[in-house]
Each structure stands twice: as structure tokens, then as C-alpha cells.
Amino acid sequence: METKLTSDAKPEIVETKLAPVTVISESPATSIKEHEKKEILQQYRRLLHALKPQLQKGDRKMIRLAFEIAYDAHKDIRRKSGEPYILHSLAVAQIVASEIGLGAVAVMCALLHDTVEDTEVTLEDIEREFGGAVAEIIDGLTKISVIFDVHGFIQAENIRKIMLTLSKDVRVILIKLADRLHNMRTMDSMPRNKQIKIASETIYLYVPLAHRLGLFDLKSELEDLSMKYSEPKIYKQIADKIIESKKERNRLIAEFIKPIKEGLTTQNFQFQMYGRLKTVYSIWRKMREQGIPFEEVYDKFAIRIIIKTDSEDEKACCWRVYSIITDCYRPNPDRLRDWISNAKANGYEALHTTVMGPEGNWVEVQIRTDRMNEIAEKGYAAHFKYKEKQTSDSSIDDWIKKIRELLENPETNTLDFIDDFKLNLFAEEIYVFTPKGELKILPLKSSVLDMAFEIHSDIGQRCIGAKVNHKIVPLSFQLGNGDQVEILTSKKQKPAEEWLKYVVTAKAKSGIKNVLKSERRRIVEIGKKALENIFRQRKVSFNSHNLNKVLDFFKIPTVNNLYYSIGVGNFKITDMDNFVRVGDNIELKDQSKTADENLELAIKNKLVSNASLFAFGDGAETVDYNLAGCCKPIPGDDVFGYVNKNKEIEIHRTNCPKAINAISKYGFDIVRTKWTKQHQIAFLTGLKITGIDDVGVMYKITSVISGDLKVNMQSITIDTKDGIFEGIIKVFVKDTFHLTELMDKLRQLDGLLSVARYEDQTIAP
């Protein structure tokens, strides 16, 4: 018997059914104080209130038991912020109940999600108290916690296990998303390097997962929080400008919705209508993609209309609302999106249109019913609620089924799968049909080959082309919305390496790679036997010493690559004339070539350029480093470094997609970096400029660059169309201040419409 904290005003004596555990005595530093107990009770009551509409008989008792076990298990643990750890468990459970909309079982799991990993509570204890379903979810949550804690292939295998768990019970990933959201909301107390690492993981995997599972609000908040910690300066600038423009924005929204509101009221609609501001992250992405400042992003908000109607009238009512809107404002026909007739793969349903507002700005309007809105906000959880009312399986269920099939195949390369899988999480969809009219949803830019593998792996492997809308096309042909596709096959066909260029789906890529690997293994075996015969003819041993001699001489990295080269005929028996037999072994006839190459390599390894450019940590010491070629950091950029698999420090800009993917996939150690003062070195970067094609404009631009600011240029590329030119100028600058000064000078020139930093990743050093 022991005292437990409960939802009642006073502590109650509750008998615990858990197996005996070693109780850590509460020290003054870790014990939960009275004011903290009041806060915990308040949060627990909030949780019960959020769950009240869906509580079944006995649920309240089991939730209280889960809370008491979690409270007791975590009572000596505090977070980095100093608050009792149980508040985190309660916050995760609150997100699960209120923001995702899951029920009592998921809330129990959320309360207990860290107990098995961090405390002496065991999975057997959980199963005994709550049953197998809860234990299985807790087991999945325990495994998912190590996803980014180790390097390389082991980490990739963890992701594989997690995805398999997801495919069995999607509540595992939903609870983990809630856990990640609360961690991101409370990350201010974490050190900077940890913030970057966690933000990178979030944008790499958790944001796409939230998107695919239809959790739009959660996904948007995770994007914003990731940007807040990876790009704090830019985030604050945009957030401040959003606050500054609030008054004007509210005026525009009120003016825009007034005639629509009158029309809906006249036709007796029950509705809600409001303006929804786009997120900091989405505004920033638009600024980057279009190379425009904040002030030129016109669609900073969207109008959302939610109508109340019976399920059988949903479609007709949404189109009636569309008609009222287009009676008030002129629509853009290219921006009509009908996700009512065909829902998105994540279950999203709505009608989107973009119309010209009263002040000459395009405004997006989203039309939904109550049911559609709940699915849009709570994603898979809401879909699950409505599932029994639907006549066919959800596309989300189909997607999860595909994940299971791919991952249960032992031939699937996990690292490749993760990259392909992540891309497909965010992909826009197209809708195509079989000859019998069966609908297939594929990612945008899918080919005939993707469609073939979508139908069946055997059909994909034997595909030779297709009839698209009754016209014969090659297997590389990209499909469009509404295409009718008949796949053509041949028993003699087999996959080739170039097929990988034609496909975008994970299923197709996996199917092609599996066949290619099988074929490669066959060729490797042929090559191995051939080399054994060559060694036998030369009367030398088939051992590692002799194999390494051959690998070193021909600069082949692995034995299997050597076998493959022999198997495809690249290796001739006369190539062995470069060696002489010494007993059972072989040695090179002439070692001078290898010695010269080794000397050259040794000299290259000694050449360290600009080693004093970066200072790491809090001291003034300097280290060797590599400036990343993908994002071209220059002094003044917000940068960080990580130790790569070759134990070298790579320096990247904090928003570099390649770095984010690398540290997320492999869990590289992040090191803090800062620039030292260094003005003698010039760094290559690029400018993207657009302007009016007029006489003398290029002279003005080059005069500012080379004349006024004495900046060296590497190259200029200009394209002109319809009186507007667009150009890329590659220049050498000292730092971001130097670059900003140059950009500001250019913006002052007459005829220039925009000047932005060029984000292309192909700038050569």
C-alpha cells in the first residue's frame, strides 16, 4: 500500500498491483513540491474533461491506474526545464485526446509511453495490468525512441521496425507525433546543438508522417517549430512582420467575407467562416521558391468555410457554396481543386478555389463540411471514427498495407526505402484508371512502370509499355490525371538498371532493385568461380592476401565488385600478367607506379586549406574542416558542423537539406561552430536577378559589382523572354555582410525587379 496522487482534492490510499520495484527515496532536489502537485492535478482533470464525451464504462478507472503508475515511476525525474517529468506525460496524453482525437486506450499509452524505457516498470507489468493491446503499443513506442540514437545501418533498421509497428497499429506513430510535438514546444531549455539535431529529425521524418496521416495542424506546427530552432533569425523576422500586418489583414478578411456571408445566409446554410493565416514556414517556403520578399507574398491567408449538412448532401452543398463564392468574385479556373470527388491519399476532402479579391489579390477559399473538417484536422484518428460508415477501404489503409508488404520483404534495402518512402509521404497525387475503370492513386510524375508495379510486382517486371487512352506509349511515359492505362507485358522482358530513372514510387523502386540484386548475385557468383579458375591456373592460393593485391592494383573497393567486373567481362586473364608468383602468393612486377600514386595521395592529404577559418566550442582553438559543397556556407551564415562517417567535420548552413537528411538518417554527432574574423578569403556564391530587358542594364549591373564594390565575378548567365530577363551571377564575397551590401546596391538600380541569393547546389569551387 502506498500514497498516490489522484484526481480528487486529497491524496487517496490506492493498492498498486505492480510487481515490487526498488523505490528511490525522494531527495529535496527531486521531490515533487506542493505547488507542482496542484499543477499536476489540474492537468489530469483537464485530460479527463477532454476525454469525457468518449469514455466507456471502466475507462476512467484504467486511465487513473495508468496515471498513478506513471506518476510513481517518474516521481524522481525532472525534465531539462526543471519541471516534474509527469507533466510531459500528461501533456502528451492531452495532445492525443484533444488535438488528435484518440480514445482511452491511446491516452493510457501516452501516459505510460516512457515508463518502460526510463523507469523500472517492465513490459510484463504493463501487459498484466492493461492487456496485450496496450503492451504492444508501449513496446512500439519504446522501440521508436531509439530511431535517431545510433549510426548508419542499425539506425535504418530501427526505422524499418518502427514502420512495421506503424503498419500493425497506427496509434504508435500518432502518440509518438504527440510526444515529438510537446518536445518541440518545450525545447527552449535545450542546448543549441541539440535543438538543431531534434529540429532536423522532425522536418526529415515526423513532418512527412504527420502530412501523410492527415494531421494538417500538427504538421504545420512542427514545421514552424523546426524553423524556429533551425532558422531563428528568419523565423523571428517573418513572425514580427505577421504581427505588424495583423490589423490590415483583418480588414481585408472582413471586407472579403462580407458578400459571401450574405449569400450563404440568404440560402439558409448553417456555416462557420473565418480567415486562416498561413504559417511562418509556408510563407518562408514561398519566399524562397519565388525569390520574393515578405511584402510580395500576397496569399498570406486563406478563407475557410465549414458547412453543416447531412452526409448524403455533402457534395451538392459544397458545390452550391462554390457557386455563391464565384457569384461574388472571379475564380481562377487553373486553381480549382476537387478533393470531394476523389479524396487525397491521406483522406483529405475539400473543395478549394482561388478567386480575385476586391483589392486585386488572389485569395484561396476552402469549402468543407463538418465531417471533412474533422478529418482534415485530426487525420487518421477521425478517418477511423468514420470508417465504418464508408463503403470502401480508405486509401490510408491501402498505404499502410503497402508499407507492410515492402518492409516484410527481406530483399528491401532499408536505407533506399527510407529515402523513397519519405519522398512519397509528401508527393502530390494523380488519379488514373485501369481498362475496367478501377481507380488507382499514384504520386505526381508517376510513369507507366509505376502503374505496372502498383497493379502487381510480376506485371511491373514484365512491362514493355502501355496503352494510355488507347495510344501506345513507352514504359517511361509520365501519366496525368484521368488517364486510362492498359499495361502491356512480355514473358521475355526483365528489369534493367535504367528503369530506376523512370519510377518514383517506393514499391516500383524496391521491385526493380530486388531483381537487379538477384541478377548481380548471379553474376558475382560467376565472376568468383572464374577468378578461382584463374588463380588455379597460375598455381597461387585463393586467399585474402592475393585478393587484396588485385583490389589494390585495380583500385576496386570490394571483393564483390571485383567478382562482378569479372562476371560481366571487364577483367581479362592477361590482366594477371601484372603480377608474379612468389610461392603460393602473388606480388606486383613493378611497384613504382603504386609508390608514385601513394606519394601523391600522401601530399594531397597534407594540404589543409584555411584551417583557421572556424572556431569550435567556447575556446579560440581551431580545427580542420570541410566546407560543404552542397550549400556553400560563407562567413556570416548561420552554420553548424557534424562529424561524418569518415570522422571529418563538415560545415553546413543550418537550412541545408542535405545536412538535415544526413544527420537525421545517420545520427551524426553535431558540433557547435562559429566564424572567426577572416577577411582575406573570398567565397563563391550566386545571385539570382530579374529585371526589364533594356539598353545598358547589364552595364549598370557589372559597374556596381566590379566598379563600385570591387567584387570579382566568376560568370554571368542571362536569359531573356518577353522583355524580362533572368540571370545568375556567380561572385566572390568575403561574408554575408559583403553579400548583403552588394544585393542592396543592385536593388537600387532602375529596371531591376528582384535580387536574391541563388540557392542552387551546383556552384563549383
Active-site amino acid positions? 117-118
**307: nearest Cα among 324, 295, 288, 283:** 324
Strands of 469-529, DSSP E = 471-473, 485-489
**DSSP string across 2-44:** EEE--SSSS-EEE---SPP-PPPPPPTTTSPPHHHHHHHHHHH
Distance, CA of 414 to CA of 80 (rounded, Å): 34
Q: Using H for helix, E for strand and C for coil, what is the string for 314-371? A: HHHHHHHHHHHHHHHCCECHHHCEECCCCCCCCCCCCEEEEEECCCCCEEEEEEEEHH
**652: nearest Cα among 634, 673, 628:** 628
As given in the structure block, the three cell numbers for residue 715 are: 560568370
Residue type, 297: V
H/E run at residue 47: helix 34-51
Distance, CA of 363 to CA of 1 (rounded, Å): 63
DSSP-based three-state secondary structure for 382: helix
As given in the structure block, the three cell numbers for residue 341 are: 470527388
Residue type, 740: T
Distance, CA of 645 to CA of 136 (rounded, Å): 34
**DSSP string across 94-108:** HIIIIII---HHHHH
Distance, CA of 145 to CA of 179 (rounded, Å): 10
As given in the structure block, the three cell numbers for residue 711 are: 567584387
Whether residue 475 contacts residue 461, with contact meaning beta carbons closer than 8 Å, is answered with no
Phi-psi region of 614 (alpha: psi -120 to 50; beta: other; left: phi over 0): beta
Distance, CA of 118 to CA of 87 (rounded, Å): 15
Q: Using H for helix, E for strand and C for coil, what is the string for 539-604? A: CCCCCHHHHHHHHHHHCCCCHHHHHHHHHCCCCCHHHHHHEEEECCEEEECCCHHHHHHHHHHHHH
Distance, CA of 489 to CA of 142 (rounded, Å): 46
Whether residue 77 contacts residue 85, with contact meaning beta carbons closer than 8 Å, is answered with yes
Distance, CA of 513 to CA of 449 (rounded, Å): 14
**403: nearest Cα among 124, 665, 169, 134:** 169
Cβ-count burial of 439 within 10 angstroms (0-12 exposed, 13-18 middle, 19+ buried)? exposed
Q: How many CB atoms lie within 10 A of CB 123?
A: 14
Distance, CA of 363 to CA of 361 (rounded, Å): 6
Distance, CA of 74 to CA of 30 (rounded, Å): 10
Distance, CA of 110 to CA of 175 (rounded, Å): 6
